[in-house]
Structure 1
Amino acid sequence: MAEFRTIDSGQARIRVAVEGEGPLVLMVHGFPESWYSWRHQMGPVAQAGFTAAAIDVRGYGGSDKPHPIEAYDMESLTADVAGVARALQPDAPAILFGHDWGAPIVWNTALSRPDAIRAVAGLSVPFTGVPTRPFTDIFKELFTDKGLFFYQAWFQEVGPPEAEAEKDVRDFLRKFYFGIAGEAPDGSWPMKKHGASLLEGMKDPGQFPAWLTAADLDYYVGEFERSGFRGPISRYRNHERDFAWLQQFQGRKLDMPTLLIGGDRDPAFNGFGRIPDPGALMRTQVTDLRGVHVLSGCGHWTQQERPAEVNTLLVDWLKGL
């Protein structure tokens, strides 16, 4: 069973679930999740001879929740990951797993601190290199300027997104999780006009897919009822700041073993239709891509929807390092 530790990363106190002994594998979750999204990976990774450690990203769960929006920029979050890794394993570089926002966080931790990271695996979001423009410019062009809703545009205004999510946390999580799950029918993440709210037009599935049990949902609900959503949503309010920080790494590739796993029903995997072949694009930015695995019928919640397949892929990759 995992034990919880609170580790001073240097800038924030981060809660970490830890299980097993051996080389460190540090796991980073996305939105709106927690260390708990890696619950199915902790045991198998530990049993394979590694220290499995999964953090609550700052703003979530048992980790610090600073108020300033800029406290959730990529520079700060990569510093947290590197600080936790150094505290848990001071004498050797760490291996990183990341899902959803956790994938860019681990990709960029490795990019900015290549000596500290031995290998990195991303789920859902490929590594596409140092950006050439802020993502706000991209979604403005593709969605907002055309009068279309995009959830990250909705997240830019401080206040209304938090209020919508916190009004009924269980309802928000059920609709958000199901909307981009593999089992969701087309239209579950509805097209709508700019100015709509996130939940407008989204459906509750009634019977949730078996991969998220009532107890699992209860855990997530409890975490967000305590933490709120300001920190988690503020991650989306740092695109310009992230862009500016990353420019110093222009021209640098990830020069270490990497792995990419995604679902063919995950809109984040293909960049909401912008990336026809995520693996091919990623190969232009990494030197040692050891696999691109696309899981048929899998939605956004990769390691929760398909734990057995994901565990096999991750453990095989770890043993081959």
Structure 2
Amino acid sequence: MNTLTHQFLDVNGITLSLYSAGPDSGRPVWLLHGFPECWHSWRQQIMPLAQAGYRVLIPQMRGYGQSSAPCDPAAYDLITICGDIQAAMDRLGQADACVVGHDWGAPVAWHLALLEPQRVRAVVGMAVPFGGRPKQPALEIMHQLYAGRFHYILHFQTPGVAEREMDADIPRTLRMMMHNTSAAVPKDFFLQEKPAGAGLFDGMQDPMALPHWCDEQAFAEYLKTFSGRGFYGALNWYRNFERNWLRTAPLADRQIEQPAQFLLGDKDPVGTLEAYTLKQMSRLVPRLESHLLVDCGHWIQNEQAEQVNRHLLDFLARHFPA
């Protein structure tokens, strides 16, 4: 990790904090983190990719860490966030790239592939599949399905509500979310049955320890991401489902035509939540390669780093050689 460089880019109306590694002349591979994570969640992928000859670029996404965190929730729709990465590619003079995303980073990666069919030559999504543009905003569907019941995305909608609970004890919040979506935990906050109006962590206990895949040094980087700022920027990503739906209208019915890889943990609750999308994905992504990783929860690139690196490097060697 001592070969990492760091810079700030003024792009798309914000300041983007960007880490990078690998040869300047290497083909660019972007690693886009999810929620509630940080650039350091890719710590086990950065050097293997750099050593394979790639220029590895790891931004702190809008709302996270040292990157700008606009107050207006409307500043966090998918098209705007894609614009951050597109503008950064422009600033760095990149004519082609592979984009890799995990969790919320995956929808950004999928949409960059749609928006940039010439520049994005290959795309990898982890944990969150590509389902195309739904017939109505996803939030409307959730209100219908979870009327009177708790759902974490519905819980996140009103600014200030989730922040009060999550910001009150940031180490506890991170421990709870890391543990309760890992492979070792059979029931998690995604799937809990509790009434609407419940708190995110109601009925759950703080494990007080870190999961095996996150040591104290790594955890310190996660804490640094949210300390002093809290989670409001990260939560604003969840407050744009209707805006995302409106702004992606020109992309409706478009296929992702580039070579694509999807990685999912066999114990990731997202696999249950997105079961229908998974069945539809091959129709929307005709050049798709999918892999189910054994004994793996949601934090896929850390829980099973060797499996992820093997699949990722093999895919890149065939479709985006260094």
CA distance in 1, matches of 2:257, 2:104: 21
Aligned counterpart, 2:97:
94
Superposition map of 1:72-91 within 5 A: 72-88=76-92, 90-91=93-94
8 Å Cα contact 2:38-2:221 kept in structure 1: no
Aligned counterpart, 1:269:
271
CA distance in 2, matches of 1:16, 1:91: 15
CA distance in 2, matches of 1:188, 1:15: 30
The alpha carbon displacement at 1:209 in A equals 2.4
CA distance in 2, matches of 1:214, 1:91: 35
CA distance in 2, matches of 1:284, 1:11: 36
2:287 aligns to what SS in structure 1? strand
Please, what TM-score do these two structures have when normalized by structure 1? Answer: 0.94
8 Å Cα contact 1:57-1:63 kept in structure 2: yes
CA distance in 1, matches of 2:78, 2:90: 18
The alpha carbon displacement at 1:188 in A equals 6.2
8 Å Cα contact 1:260-1:292 kept in structure 2: yes
The alpha carbon displacement at 1:91 in A equals 4.5
CA distance in 2, matches of 1:16, 1:56: 6
Which of 7, 13, 16 is residue 14 of structure 1 equivalent to?
A: 16
1:256 aligns to what SS in structure 2? coil
Which of 55, 76, 80 is residue 51 of structure 1 equivalent to?
A: 55
Q: How much is the aligned-residue C-alpha RMSD, in angstroms? A: 1.5
Superposition map of 1:117-196 within 5 A: 117-143=120-146, 145=147, 147-186=148-187, 190-196=192-198
CA distance in 2, matches of 1:27, 1:224: 19
Residue-by-residue CA offset, 1:64-101 (whole Å, 9 max, x unaligned):
1111111111111010111122223x242211000000
8 Å Cα contact 1:61-1:226 kept in structure 2: no
Aligned counterpart, 2:234:
232
Which ranges in structure 1 are unaligned for 5 or more consecutive residues?
Answer: none
The alpha carbon displacement at 1:13 in A equals 1.4
The alpha carbon displacement at 1:288 in A equals 1.3
The alpha carbon displacement at 1:104 in A equals 0.3
Write the letter of the residue equivalent to 1:316.
D
The alpha carbon displacement at 1:214 in A equals 1.8
Which ranges in structure 2 are unaligned for 5 or more consecutive residues?
Answer: none
8 Å Cα contact 1:183-1:209 kept in structure 2: no
Q: Post-superposition, which runs of at least 4 consecutive aligned residues in structure 1 deviate over 6 A?
A: none
Please, what TM-score do these two structures have when normalized by structure 2? Answer: 0.93
8 Å Cα contact 1:82-1:116 kept in structure 2: no
Moved more, 93-102 or 223-232: 223-232
CA distance in 2, matches of 1:232, 1:188: 17
1:132 aligns to what SS in structure 2? coil
CA distance in 2, matches of 1:198, 1:126: 24
The alpha carbon displacement at 1:268 in A equals 1.8
Is 1:312 aligned with 2:315? no
8 Å Cα contact 1:26-1:85 kept in structure 2: no
Residue-by-residue CA offset, 1:252-285 (whole Å, 9 max, x unaligned):
1111110000111112234x1x41572x421110
